[in-house]
């Protein structure tokens, strides 16, 4: 039982450490007295934990605060230079990278066009090159890089560091985490790219302090990140969140996954371009080359009043709204964050989407849910991947897998 008692004490201490660090992150500069008030921890415990965090270099003492009589309090704040991480978004034709500090402030970004990533060896070479470039351009010493996070589309077993299946890259059962760690000698973490965005929103963005929220991404595909009771939900072996492949009509258009009528087959960028090309062939859209159409071009034409394209976006928005109404009916979340390249379409997509959400949500549930459209930048994916590493610094051990302690062990 001695080992069990020791393990419990260590767990409680780790939980308290996470609590204090998160209070400093959220409310710093802050005094030890105020930390004690917010956390409910005793002054002695706060002093002991903050001393350890200072020794680790995660927080530091700065100028004294205002005094209400007597000695001015010493304030504690995060040490922004305590850790640096690199986040990478691995896509079909490009790798986006961002280097951030411990507060997820982006210090350096770059985007590199790539090809041939269906070859795992080629992908490792390209990832290594981008990592070395971003380190060189940031001027951050290599030894201060705490870790590298990678987000990519597909079914990702984050605990095992394994890409089980990526339809875009054509990979199956690729141990990406291990392969890249062996090449760069820096800890690597991987996850589905939408999950990494959800992490970024939870720890540093609109999801802070929200226990139940969803992140829906629209762009090359349609994805879903799920946070329930403050925990990330990935499903069995990473297969949860394939929102884009929920079937809206089994007789609908063919999806890249091989099935018919998936949400993604109506709403994704390739689906919108396909619909526009069909409109050209039917004579409904003139003055454009169907073989040269891009999603950026059709978005711009729709925004300046092309009625055919406006109708295509409206139909996609209604289908997306139906899908989101179903999410609200299932999860009853406090917040849905919509992100991804597809937000460029604005009200072309989201006006009809909101109307469909209101129409198809079960009575009253929609009133509980805020829908927030997140402004999009190319670095957002990489920022999310960086948060995959950063969240390990802040998260409580009660949110992690804790090794079991045998109760049969005799006391020593």
Domain boundaries, the chain: 2-79, 84-200+382-394, 207-373
pLDDT at residue 127 in the model:
97
Query: Whole-structure pTM over 0.95, yes or no?
Result: no
Residue 190 and residue 170 in contact, taking contact as beta carbons nearer than 8 Å: no
Cα 199 to Cα 79: distance, rounded to the nearest angstrom: 21
pLDDT at residue 168 in the model:
83
CA-based end-to-end distance of the chain: 8
- Asked: is 2-79 a CATH 3.40.50.720 domain? The reply is no
Assigned token pair, 165 = 């299946």
List per-block mean pLDDT (blocks of 10 residues) for the chain, which spans 412 residues.
56 85 88 92 92 90 66 84 91 91 89 92 96 94 93 90 90 96 95 90 87 94 92 82 92 89 95 94 87 92 93 97 96 95 93 96 89 82 86 69 34 31
Most distant pair of Cα atoms in the chain: their distance: 84
Q: Which residue has the tokens 């987000």?
A: 151
Do the domains 2-79 and 207-373 sit in the same CATH topology, yes or no?
Answer: no
Query: CB within 8 A of 398, min separation 6: which ones?
Result: 11, 15
The CATH number fitting domain 84-200+382-394, selected from 1.10.10.60, 3.30.420.40, 3.40.50.10210, 3.40.640.10: 3.30.420.40
Q: Outline where 172-268 has alpha helix (H).
A: 176-184, 193-204, 264-267
Instruction: Could you list the beta-strand ranges (E) of 114-212.
Output: 145-152, 155-157, 162-166, 171-174, 188-192
pLDDT at residue 405 in the model:
32
pLDDT at residue 304 in the model:
92
The CATH number fitting domain 207-373, selected from 3.30.300.130, 3.30.420.40, 3.30.9.10, 3.40.190.10: 3.30.420.40
Helix (H) or strand (E) holding 7: helix 2-27
pLDDT at residue 397 in the model:
67
pLDDT at residue 406 in the model:
32
Measured CA to CA in angstroms, residue 338 lies from 15, 198, 251, 350, 371 at distances of 32, 10, 27, 10, 7
pLDDT at residue 410 in the model:
31
Cα 339 to Cα 222: distance, rounded to the nearest angstrom: 10
């Amino acid at each position: 039982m001695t080992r069990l008692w020791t393990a419990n004490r260590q767990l409680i201490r780790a939980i308290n450490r996470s609590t204090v660090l998160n209070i400093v992150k959220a409310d710093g500069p802050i005094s030890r007295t105020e930390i004690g008030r917010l956390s409910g921890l005793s002054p002695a415990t706060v002093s002991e934990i903050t001393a350890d965090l200072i020794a680790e270099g995660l927080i530091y003492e700065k100028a004294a605060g205002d005094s209400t009589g007597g000695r001015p309090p010493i304030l504690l704040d995060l040490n922004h230079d305590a850790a640096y991480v690199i986040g990478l978004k691995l896509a079909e034709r490009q790798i986006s990278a961002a280097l951030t500090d411990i507060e997820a402030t982006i210090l350096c970004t770059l985007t590199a066009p790539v090809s041939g990533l269906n070859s795992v060896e080629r992908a490792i070479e390209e990832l290594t090159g981008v990592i070395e470039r971003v380190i060189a351009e940031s001027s951050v010493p290599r030894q201060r890089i705490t870790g590298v996070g990678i987000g990519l589309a597909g079914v990702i077993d984050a605990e095992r560091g394994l890409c089980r299946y990526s339809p875009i890259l054509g990979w199956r059962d690729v141990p990406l985490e291990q392969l890249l760690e062996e090449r760069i000698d820096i800890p690597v973490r991987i996850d589905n790219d939408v999950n990494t965005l959800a992490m970024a929103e939870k720890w540093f963005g609109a999801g802070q302090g929200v226990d139940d929220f969803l992140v829906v991404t629209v762009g090359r595909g349609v994805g879903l990140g799920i946070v329930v009771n403050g925990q990330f939900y990935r499903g069995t072996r990473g297969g949860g969140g394939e929102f884009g492949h929920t079937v809206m009509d089994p007789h609908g258009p063919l999806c890249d996954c091989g099935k018919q009528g998936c949400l993604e087959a109506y709403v994704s960028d390739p689906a919108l371009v396909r619909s526009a090309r069909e409109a050209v062939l039917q004579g409904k859209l003139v003055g454009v080359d169907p073989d040269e159409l891009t999603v950026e071009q059709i978005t711009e034409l729709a925004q300046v009043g092309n009625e055919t394209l406006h109708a295509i976006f409206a139909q996609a928005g209604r289908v997306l709204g139906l899908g989101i109404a179903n999410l609200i009916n299932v999860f009853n979340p406090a917040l849905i964050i919509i992100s991804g390249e597809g937000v460029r379409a604005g009200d072309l997509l989201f006006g009809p989407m909101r109307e469909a959400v209101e129409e198809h949500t079960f009575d009253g549930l929609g009133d509980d849910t805020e829908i927030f459209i997140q402004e999009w930048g190319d670095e957002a994916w990489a920022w999310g991947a960086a948060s995959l590493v950063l969240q390990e610094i802040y998260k409580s051990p009660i949110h992690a897998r804790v090794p079991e302690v045998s109760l049969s062990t005799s006391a020593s």
